[in-house]
Structure 1
Amino acid sequence: MMSIPVKKPMIFQNIPCTLVTGFLGAGKTTVINQLLTTKPNNERWALLINEFGRIGIDGALLASSQDSGFEQENIAIREVSGGCICCTSQLPLQIAISRLLSDHHPQRLLIEPTGLAHPRELILQLSAPHWQTALKMNAVITVLSGEQWQQTKYRDHDGFQAHVRDADVLVINRYAQLDVSEKQALVEWITKLNSQVKIIWTVSRLASAETTDLSDGQLTDAYSATLKDQLNKPSYIILNQRKVNIAHSQKSMIGLRSQGNSLAAMPVSSPSTDEHEAQDNINNDLPYRYHEEQQDFQLAGWRLPAYYVLNADDLQNWLLALPNWERIKGVVHTSDGWMQINFNPGSLTTKTIDPQTDSRLEIILQSDGDVDTAIEKTESKNDAEALSSLINWEDCDRELMAMVI
């Protein structure tokens, strides 16, 4: 009888991995694009993107910002949408990383979690023993927007502060409007939260005016080199967490030994491939819309067939009139052609892109507290602010469909 050789699973060891975090709208995509430009031509890299919603747009935004496709650049990309990969269960993160490593065999991995994620949860997962041999965790790079920091609602927000506390490296962008005293105040605020963090200021338009001994080109090269260096710096945040994990594990082992053989072994199960293929193929029936709440934000998204053409001017005016919007992004077929939309309160960007398989649009609105409270305010008086916190998604559907030409 002929024996059939059994294919052994590939074992991955010490794949350099960098976590790029930042609060919602901080500018992570820009920094990731800058990191991707430093990739040597002969290396294979992989990028794991965790979308804040269910639609999946960041991959298209990144791809459209590259002069050539990811495949030609030897970069594999995988999106995990439908919520935070660090919440409730480690399985989405484990499966996504395992697939990237086994399918593409990258020599470096970048992970971009959603801006709504709490970085501590993700650091706890990546500090777990099963990743210590497969991944070599390098410096956690966090992006901070100077424009956001200027606003009290961000500066005092625990989620905003959490990204600073759990950073090895802090890349500060969008700070051109800060004067010298404000920059100093920003550094002091950072230091109180994380005294060990390394601060990198992105190259701004005013950099040459502030630095007389370097040209714009030299400043850009120096910034790029400094950013690239962080890809190989060890993460002290994750190293310290691993030490905590080891100490906790040793205490747990002592407790287990004291209980003798009273604990029965529990089987470990893993989800089937079919279950995850079904999850990957969700929302294929178009048109599709969802809406949900995460923390104190309202999320909504639409996927429309490619042959739906929306009036470009009406769409932009409608999006900007939405109440309390924090982030708007999409790839949409419009009367001006296929457009990339990438809006945050400090930046409104639109760009012509190649035709896509479908149109995708996703928005995040800041909730003004509890909805019931807002209704009470509205009933008691004509409170414009309270009214703006309420939104009728069925009306939004009708308004969006009315723009289809």
Structure 2
Amino acid sequence: MSVNKTKVHLISGFLGTGKTTALKSLMEQKDPNEKWVIIVNEFGEIGIDGAVLSDNGIPVAEIAGGCLCCTAGAQLGTTVQKMLRDAQPARLMIEASGLAHAASVIDDLKVKPLQDQLEIATVFTVVDPRQFINPDYAQQALYKDQIGVCDVLVASKTDLCTPEELEQFRENAAKLFPPKAKVVEVENARMDIAWLDIPVIEKPRYRIKALPDNTMGFQSQGFTFPAGKDFDGERLTNFFNDLPKFTEGLVRAKGVFQVMGTWVWLNWVDGKWGASQVSWRRDSRFELIAKSFDADLIEKKLNEALE
């Protein structure tokens, strides 16, 4: 096989948000000379989406039985291997079940030998803005995972939303961490094929786009580290404990870090910090807001916390 890796695009999202329609709209715009294969993961035993998608000559494989994580892990690897061997595609599109933990799918694709053959390209999550702004949904671990894992957040069913709901959606989406490469609003889950090539390359340092509503002399800075670099849990803990010493007037610090092969979210606010698991897989990243700090020193301390 050539050194050109097959690009993988994951399309995630809750039940009924329009994932299949989104994938169909991309297929309609596909360059006829570019080879695609599709994997559909159905929650039920009978695959409906696969039947809907398979009428245009693109090979479709189905993995039934639900969460494309726990039960389907081994089956996913085998299916992907077979499709890569048989079709040698330029792109592999995976439509995850509405009940799948999308991050687990990415983890399964990052093990050898698959990681040598695949490039995790733009990841999409399709949401209904009315659910997105509803705390009952927003607080669910599965829903948070699907939002957290994506590079591009696609708001579908916008024609069914009030202007107020859309405004609230935009406000909430702008505050997501890590920030999205793009947030788009569509009707009838109609996607633009150009979005498949949205660059998702990490920059070692970046400025946070929007600071909290103040101009009281606060500064912000972000730092990223490529996926695959593990942080040491104990050193990271020390870094967060010592952070007030490295900064003046620290008001906010948050980060997503790869620690011993798993991914954790660390959040410092009001003098205390907490940790939880997170579905983001693109890179480790850290952001802080304070009156003043030495960005070079912060970067040095973060590097010292690596394994």
Q: Say whether 1:123 aligns with 2:109.
A: no
Residue of 57, 60, 84 corresponding to 1:101: 84
Counterpart-to-counterpart distance in 2, 1:203 and 1:24: 17
Residue of 53, 76, 83 corresponding to 1:62: 53
Q: CA deviation at 1:118?
A: 1.2
Under a length normalisation based on structure 1, what TM-score does the superposition of the two structures give? 0.47
Query: CA 1:88–1:203 in structure 2 vs 1: closer, same or farther (change >3 Å)?
Result: closer
Aligned to 1:30, what secondary structure does the other structure show?
helix
Counterpart-to-counterpart distance in 2, 1:233 and 1:136: 14
Q: CA deviation at 1:127?
A: 3.3
Instruction: Give runs of aligned pairs for residues 284-363 of structure 1, distance below 5 A.
Output: none
Counterpart-to-counterpart distance in 1, 2:60 and 2:132: 31
> What is the one-letter code of the residue matched to 1:30?
T
Counterpart-to-counterpart distance in 2, 1:115 and 1:149: 14
Q: Say whether 1:140 aligns with 2:123.
A: yes
Name 1:32's counterpart in structure 2: 23
Counterpart-to-counterpart distance in 1, 2:224 and 2:85: 27
Q: Kindly, what percent of the aligned residue pairs are identical?
A: 31
Q: Say whether 1:190 aligns with 2:173.
A: yes
Q: CA deviation at 1:81?
A: 0.6
Name 2:183's counterpart in structure 1: 199
Name 2:239's counterpart in structure 1: none
Aligned to 2:98, what secondary structure does the other structure show?
coil
1:46-75 CA distance string (max 9 Å, x none): 001111122222111234xxxxx322xxx1
Query: CA 1:102–1:94 in structure 2 vs 1: closer, same or farther (change >3 Å)?
Result: same
Name 1:15's counterpart in structure 2: 6
Query: CA 1:56–1:89 in structure 2 vs 1: closer, same or farther (change >3 Å)?
Result: closer
Aligned to 1:176, what secondary structure does the other structure show?
helix
Q: CA deviation at 1:242?
A: 9.1
1:111-159 CA distance string (max 9 Å, x none): 1111101122122223335333311221101101124335553233222
Name 1:47's counterpart in structure 2: 38
Structure possessing the higher radius of gyration over alpha carbons: 1
Name 1:286's counterpart in structure 2: none
Name 1:373's counterpart in structure 2: none
1:184-221 CA distance string (max 9 Å, x none): 211222233335211111147xxxxxxxxxxxxxxx9x
> What is the one-letter code of the residue matched to 1:57?
I
Contact 2:159 2:187 in 1 (8 A): no
Under a length normalisation based on structure 2, what TM-score does the superposition of the two structures give? 0.61
Q: CA deviation at 1:14?
A: 0.8
Query: CA 1:128–1:187 in structure 2 vs 1: closer, same or farther (change >3 Å)?
Result: farther
Aligned to 1:20, what secondary structure does the other structure show?
strand
1:268-324 CA distance string (max 9 Å, x none): xxxxxxxxxxxxxxxxxxxxxxxxxxxxxxxxxxxxxxxxxxxxxxxxxxxxxxxxx
Q: Which has the higher strand share?
A: 2
Query: CA 1:21–1:236 in structure 2 vs 1: closer, same or farther (change >3 Å)?
Result: farther
Unmatched 5+ stretches in structure 1: 1-9, 64-68, 205-219, 252-405
Counterpart-to-counterpart distance in 2, 1:48 and 1:33: 13
Name 1:85's counterpart in structure 2: 68
Counterpart-to-counterpart distance in 2, 1:17 and 1:29: 16
Q: Say whether 1:230 aligns with 2:195.
A: yes
> Highest relative contact order (Cα 8 Å, sep 6+), 1 or 2?
2
Number of residue pairs the alignment of both structures matches = 213
1:334-381 CA distance string (max 9 Å, x none): xxxxxxxxxxxxxxxxxxxxxxxxxxxxxxxxxxxxxxxxxxxxxxxx
Counterpart-to-counterpart distance in 2, 1:242 and 1:59: 37
Query: CA 1:13–1:95 in structure 2 vs 1: closer, same or farther (change >3 Å)?
Result: farther
> What is the one-letter code of the residue matched to 1:33?
K
Contact 1:140 1:235 in 2 (8 A): no
1:64-91 CA distance string (max 9 Å, x none): xxxxx322xxx11100112323215731
Q: Could you say what the CA RMSD is over the residues aligned between the two structures, in angstroms?
A: 3.1
